[in-house]
Amino acid sequence: MRYLNKHVYRLLKQNRGYTILLFLMVVLTSFMYFFVEFSVDRNQVRIQEYAETQHLEDFRFQLQEDTDRSRVLEKIHTEAIIEEKRFKKVTQISTNYYLLAPPQMLNVPYLLEGRLPVASTEVALMLQYMDNHALTIGDSITIGNHNLTIVGSMFLPDYQSFIPFNDLKQDYNQATFGVVTPDVYHMINGQEERYYAAQFKPGVDSGSAELRLSSDPAFSYLAFDSGLESSTEPLTAIDSNQSLAHSFLFLFTLITLFIFYMFYTRFIRLHRQDLGCFKALGYTARQISYAPLVYSLILSTAGGLVGMVLGFFGSSVLIQMYAQMYSFPFWERGLELRSILFGLWIPVIGTVLVTWMGIFPFLRQETFYVMHNTIKPLPNGRLTAAFQSVIGLLPETLRLPLRVVLRKWNAIFLSATAIFLMTLLFIMSASLYQSSGVALESQTAGMNYMYDIRYPDLREDEVTSHSSSMYYLRQSIQLRGVEGQKFSVELIGMDDQGTQVQLMNHDNTLILPSELDGIVVSEATRWLYGIQSGDTVQLIINHQPHNVSVREISQNGEADTIYTSKTQLARWMNVSPSMHNGEYSNGGPLDSNARVVTAENKLATLRSDAVSSQSSAVINQVAGILVGFLLIYLVILLNVQDSHKDMHILRLLGYSHRDINRMLVDVYKPLFVLLYMLVIPFAILAARAILHMISLQTGDYIPFQIHWWVLILILILILLQYQLVVTLFKRKVFKQTQGMELADSLGTY
Amino acid sequence: MNIAISVQNVTKHFKKNEMILSEISLDLAEGEFTAIIGPSGSGKSTLLNLMSGLLRPSNGHVFINDRDITELNEDALADFRRLHLGHIFQHYHLLSHLTVRENIYIGLSGTGEPHTVEELAALLGIEDILNQFPGQLSGGQQQRVAIARALIKRPRILFCDEATGALDEMNSKNVIALLHLARQQYGVTIVFITHNPEIAKTAQRVITIKNGSIYQDRLNEYPITAAQMHWA
């Protein structure tokens, strides 16, 4: 057994180039999985623990203006702890401060360093903001007219994603929550938001309580914790990244297994006489398979471990990104045992199984067949014959290269996989890159206002204001699509007296909602929920259903938003058509109770999303280049190894290195171009579906974009990669054929 | 006379209508050197492969020392070969990554009392090349190593498939002489496939195969020695 294994190992080691590639594929598979998994695993548990011990909020609400507040609160109090939450937004130069008095029961700030303020000169700020501005405890900042000393750095458990109540998502570079003492809170002027946070008391059946609360008309706003983006976004993000890790593992494992299978079928073809000789000497198939199985086991285990180690270091990039994006104090890099087993065992078991499948059935044949080349012709004999006939019609210079290309179905399959993956990843990358601009453009075009002012109550329109303002009614509603699925969207009833917001259809014609009996859906909303012009959808407004027709799709407008006329929405809301609860304005807000979103802030948020899309685009490009390079390398490697004898013969016949390269090495270009043409529709469909899925998961508008020049650029990129690999091989082939000449001259080859 | 190999009504066809061997029956005695001759494509190699268990018959049975090897599964057959049978091939089939010594060792069955490498090396005249690799040896040396590999486990039967087919006269004579020497010293039964009638003259029994059937089966009362062979 010792010498049997020794010999088989040596045969396996002869394929050094291929072995390195197998190893790299396992490393890549493992790395892509562990890179994400290290940043996800422990944090899933940690975030859930944080929610249970620190967050404590089960739902939040606001009450209707005309409701008997004390009666409703008293009723809720029987089954839940309630705490009123207030914060003031103070905008100063380029920073938004969201100030709050120290919470008492729910969502108590988690202090990392220092303490909460106890004096009117003190403040505690978010850690990320302090880090980004190099602030430390003891430093002073000025908010309004108040000079405050920082006494603590903190996290707010109910705002793990920085989306302040009723406001746009904020960036820790330009915004922070700040806890101040109640007297400072009262003294500082700012736009105030109020709502109630609540936690079910022990013993309350939260499921039935939620149902009861949902049907209560006393609430103007009611959201349960599972639906609050500000607290669920980090968990959603890491859950979605974990799905991505599993998809990576599955996809890359399949490719790796295919390459392992090819390796062993080729190994058998090359060494069948040696393997047959072992059988003739009386070694069993199991004994002969032992070395290849151990070889695969070692290769895949080592590759898996190296990938895991690289993933450990690589995951710090993701952890840092999470730490910048989300406010959570316990980001930790780590793995659960099940993830280690999953990430290592799947590729390891897969490779061992594929090795067994590649070798064992072959060795179980009668020894005579193992030793002698009695491979039956492939079942696609007719197809091959048809190809050969077509090739026969081509010019002589093309015949040999094409025959070389078509002689191996597995190389063609591998080429198709490489081209498909590269095309898919590059299309996704280009689409992500362009979509950020398109999303920005579509959500800002036709928006000619400086302030979006939202009032906590309904107000009478003032005719004199129409030159600088455009009134609207805004209502959060539920939309039931054609297939019955429900989405939460904003419905805006627009006044047609102003020009501050102008919706345009795809023919660049102005849409006037007042002239339409129905609704207008923005392109962003259409992309997300698949609503088409002419569809009839159901709007649930204040618990009342209304069936309406989608009249237009506007090329601009906000995501998750649909539009109608103000008169129409007033009718649905049962209010006077001369009332409004918001305005798009070019003049500053006069009412301190109004909540103001500046166009500049909105733009900053959209730009921040654009940067995130562009970073994803870069990741896709890198993945495309890596996968493409490895697979193209493998295709050419297989071809060169199998053409060794042909090269020798051609060299003996006096062909130059250049001719040999042209005839046997650089032969895949036409196939790659053809495959590229074939895979484009499939890659486009797949990229579109993936982007749509990401859009739905993240709620971001990531429209699919593709231009003809992008397709040409992708082809050029693929051919450049191919050329690079071929150049590497040309050198190798030159050395090999040189070696052959030397061997010939010595008569030992 | 003890029977080493008994072939009973063996038929072999690879494709449906392509009969390679038809209803072959024969018994080979223990310790006998049997030459199987015949023109190319007559089925002589197929018969050898069936007797040695490298192929399975389409019909019929092969008994080796009263054991029906056609009834054995692939693993049991491999074990049986490893314990009791030796093979020498036309193209040697030495393992290029192992030294001569290791190539000989790999023929060991792991049971019984094997020969030592040194003993066989002395017998076959390969003492000086034990640490070399097959790529460094001549054809004759390689075949001697192959004989040593086949003999080291003290097989009961040695199957030789055109074992001198790739060798020149001198080396062929040496190999035949060594095989006869091994038979005499160790009592091994030898089945030798060849198309060379001179080699057949050294055998005690000569079976001629034609068109998949036994054409002639005769005992050679006066076998010549290897040195007496006249090379065409």
B53 in contact with A, Cβ within 8 Å:
yes
Q: Looking at chain A from residue 1 to 20, which residues have their Cβ under 8 Å from any Cβ of chain B?
A: 3-4, 6-7, 10-11
Residue type, A598: T
How many alpha carbons lie under 13 Å from residue B9 in its C-beta half-sphere? 2
Tally of domains in chain B: 1
**Inter-residue long-range contacts of A529-537, CB under 8 Å, 24+ positions, other chains counted:** A529/A479, A529/A481, A529/A485, A529/A487, A530/A481, A531/A481, A531/A482, A535/A481, A535/A482, A536/A482, A537/A479, A537/A480, A537/A481, A537/A482
Sequence-ordered list of residues with C-beta below 8 angstroms from that of A85, at least 6 positions apart, any chain: A60, A100, A103, A107, A165, A194, A195, A196, A197
Distance of CA A281 to the CA centre of its chain: 56
Residues A280, B54: C-beta atoms closer than 8 Å? yes
Does any domain span residue A401?
no
- Residue A651 has which token pair? 């060299």
pLDDT tens-digit map of A66-80: 888 888 899 899 999
Give the whole-angstrom CA distance, residue A607 versus residue A173: 13
Chain B positions touching A376 (Cβ under 8 A) are: none
Residues A635 and A735 in one domain: yes
How many alpha carbons lie under 13 Å from residue A535 in its C-beta half-sphere? 18
DSSP conformation class of A662:
I
| B79 Cα to chain A: minimum distance (Å) | 6
Chain A positions touching B95 (Cβ under 8 A) are: 3, 7, 274, 277
Angle formed by the axes of helices A409-444 and A396-406, nearest 10°: 90
- Residue A292 has which token pair? 């290849």
Residues B149, A281: C-beta atoms closer than 8 Å? yes
Does any domain span residue A303?
yes
| B19 Cα to chain A: minimum distance (Å) | 17
Give the whole-angstrom CA distance, residue A530 versus residue A481: 8
Residues A285 and A321 in one domain: yes
Give the whole-angstrom CA distance, residue A536 versus residue A482: 7
Choose the final residue of a domain: A200, A231, A257.
A200
- Select from B191, B105, B84 the least CA-distant residue to B148: B105
Nearest to A281 among B97, B98, B106 (CB): B106
Using CA atoms in the order A415, A421, A426, A428, what is the torsion angle rounded to 10 degrees? 160
CA distances from A89 to A158, A166, A365 (A): 17, 11, 79
Residues B74, A283: C-beta atoms closer than 8 Å? no
Sequence-ordered list of residues with C-beta below 8 angstroms from that of A234, at least 6 positions apart, any chain: A43, A47, A160, A161, A322, A325, A326, A328
A364 in contact with B, Cβ within 8 Å:
yes
Residue type, B92: Y
- Select from A437, A435, A424, A438 the least CA-distant residue to A621: A424
Give the whole-angstrom CA distance, residue A70 versus residue A657: 92
B49 in contact with A, Cβ within 8 Å:
yes
Residues A285 and A219 in one domain: yes
B93 in contact with A, Cβ within 8 Å:
yes
Sequence-ordered list of residues with C-beta below 8 angstroms from that of A168, at least 6 positions apart, any chain: A597, A601, A602, A605
B149 in contact with A, Cβ within 8 Å:
yes
Give the whole-angstrom CA distance, residue A639 versus residue A650: 15
**What pLDDT is recorded for position A377?**
42
Residues A362 and A219 in one domain: yes
Residues A216 and A347 in one domain: yes
Measured between CA atoms, the residue of chain B closest to residue A280 is B54
Residues B98, A3: C-beta atoms closer than 8 Å? yes
Q: Which residues pair with B206 in a beta bridge?
A: B35, B218
A367 in contact with B, Cβ within 8 Å:
yes
Which burial class, exposed, middle or buried, applies to B2 when counting CB atoms under 10 A from its CB (0-12, 13-18, 19+)? exposed
Nearest to B78 among A6, A274, A279 (CB): A279
Whether the complex's predicted ipTM is more than 0.85 is answered with no
B105 in contact with A, Cβ within 8 Å:
yes
A282 in contact with B, Cβ within 8 Å:
yes
Domain that holds residue B55: 3-228
CB atoms within 10 A of CB A463: 7
B107 in contact with A, Cβ within 8 Å:
yes
Choose the final residue of a domain: A528, A554, A587.
A587
| A410 Cα to chain B: minimum distance (Å) | 28
| B200 Cα to chain A: minimum distance (Å) | 25
- Select from A504, A493, A356, A384 the least CA-distant residue to A443: A504
Sequence-ordered list of residues with C-beta below 8 angstroms from that of B35, at least 6 positions apart, any chain: B192, B193, B194, B199, B200, B202, B203, B205, B206, B207
Give the whole-angstrom CA distance, residue A735 versus residue A401: 21
Nearest to B49 among A281, A284, A368 (CB): A368
| A294 Cα to chain B: minimum distance (Å) | 19
The dihedral region occupied by B154, where left means phi > 0, alpha psi between -120 and 50, and beta the remainder, is left
- Residue A104 has which token pair? 């008492």
B112 in contact with A, Cβ within 8 Å:
no
Residues A280, B74: C-beta atoms closer than 8 Å? no
- Given a cut of 50, the residues of chain A with pLDDT beneath it are 375-379, 742-749
Chain B positions touching A4 (Cβ under 8 A) are: 106
Residues A124 and A213 in one domain: no
- Select from B192, B76, B98 the least CA-distant residue to B149: B98
Give the whole-angstrom CA distance, residue A34 versus residue A28: 10
- Residue A6 has which token pair? 């020794």
pLDDT tens-digit map of B56-79: 999 999 999 889 999 998 888 888
Residues A605 and A732 in one domain: yes
Q: Chain B interface, mutation test: which of A273, A275, A277, most B Cβ atoms within 10 Å?
A: A277
- Select from A244, A377, A348 the least CA-distant residue to A23: A348
Mean pLDDT, all residues of chain B: 87
| A4 Cα to chain B: minimum distance (Å) | 7
- Select from B190, B198, B161, B212 the least CA-distant residue to B28: B190
Tally of domains in chain A: 4
| B224 Cα to chain A: minimum distance (Å) | 31
**What pLDDT is recorded for position A748?**
38
Total-model pTM: 0.71
DSSP conformation class of A580:
E
Residue type, A437: G
Give the whole-angstrom CA distance, residue B46 versus residue B21: 8
CATH code for the domain in which residue B70 is found: 3.40.50.300
Does any domain span residue A381?
no
Residues A67 and A91 in one domain: no
Using CA atoms in the order A59, A331, A131, A229, what is the torsion angle rounded to 10 degrees? -30
DSSP assignments along chain B, one per residue? --EEEEEEEEEEEEETTEEEEEEEEEEEETT-EEEEE--TTSSHHHHHHHHHTSS--SEEEEEETTEEGGGS-HHHHHHHHHHHEEEEETT----TTS-HHHHHHTT--SSS-PPPHHHHHHHHT-GGGTTS-GGGS-HHHHHHHHHHHHHTT--SEEEEESTTTTS-HHHHHHHHHHHHHHHHHH--EEEEEES-HHHHTTSSEEEEEETTEEEEEEE-SSPPPGGG----
**What pLDDT is recorded for position A612?**
65
Distance of CA A736 to the CA centre of its chain: 45
- Given a cut of 70, the residues of chain B with pLDDT beneath it are 15-17, 109-112, 231-232
Measured between CA atoms, the residue of chain B closest to residue A10 is B97
| A735 Cα to chain B: minimum distance (Å) | 22
CB pairs under 8 A between A and B: 72
Nearest to A274 among B56, B95, B109 (CB): B95
Chain B positions touching A285 (Cβ under 8 A) are: 74-75, 78
Q: Which residues pair with B62 in a beta bridge?
A: B7
B81 in contact with A, Cβ within 8 Å:
yes
- Residue B184 has which token pair? 């005499």
**What pLDDT is recorded for position A411?**
78
Choose the final residue of a domain: A162, A181, A200.
A200
B55 in contact with A, Cβ within 8 Å:
yes
- Residue A615 has which token pair? 């970073």
Q: What is the DSSP pairing of strand A80-92 with strand A95-100?
A: antiparallel
CB atoms within 10 A of CB A682: 12
Chain B positions touching A280 (Cβ under 8 A) are: 52, 54, 81, 87, 89, 93
B78 in contact with A, Cβ within 8 Å:
yes
A286 in contact with B, Cβ within 8 Å:
yes
Q: Looking at chain A from residue 370 to 409, which residues have their Cβ under 8 Å from any Cβ of chain B?
A: 371
- Select from A427, A419, A406 the least CA-distant residue to A677: A419
| A285 Cα to chain B: minimum distance (Å) | 7
Residues A219 and A361 in one domain: yes
Residues A119 and A142 in one domain: yes
Chain B positions touching A273 (Cβ under 8 A) are: 91, 93
Residues A616 and A729 in one domain: yes
Residues B107, A371: C-beta atoms closer than 8 Å? no
B80 in contact with A, Cβ within 8 Å:
yes
Does any domain span residue A328?
yes
Give the whole-angstrom CA distance, residue B13 versus residue A595: 92
Sequence-ordered list of residues with C-beta below 8 angstroms from that of A321, at least 6 positions apart, any chain: none
Measured between CA atoms, the residue of chain B closest to residue A370 is B54
| A634 Cα to chain B: minimum distance (Å) | 26
Give the whole-angstrom CA distance, residue A112 versus residue A329: 8
**What pLDDT is recorded for position A464?**
66
Q: Which residues pair with B66 in a beta bridge?
A: none
Chain B positions touching A284 (Cβ under 8 A) are: 74-75, 78-79
Q: Which residues pair with A595 in a beta bridge?
A: A454
Domain that holds residue A108: 84-200
- Select from A13, A36, A12, A16 the least CA-distant residue to A24: A16
Residues A282, B97: C-beta atoms closer than 8 Å? no
Does any domain span residue A394?
no
- Select from A180, A203, A183 the least CA-distant residue to A81: A203
- Select from B18, B3, B28 the least CA-distant residue to B214: B28
Q: Which residues pair with B33 in a beta bridge?
A: B190
Chain B positions touching A371 (Cβ under 8 A) are: 54, 93
Is there a contact between A374 and B49 (Cβ–Cβ < 8 Å)? no
Q: Sheet containing B33-37: give its strands across.
A: B85-89, B157-161, B189-194, B33-37, B205-210, B213-219
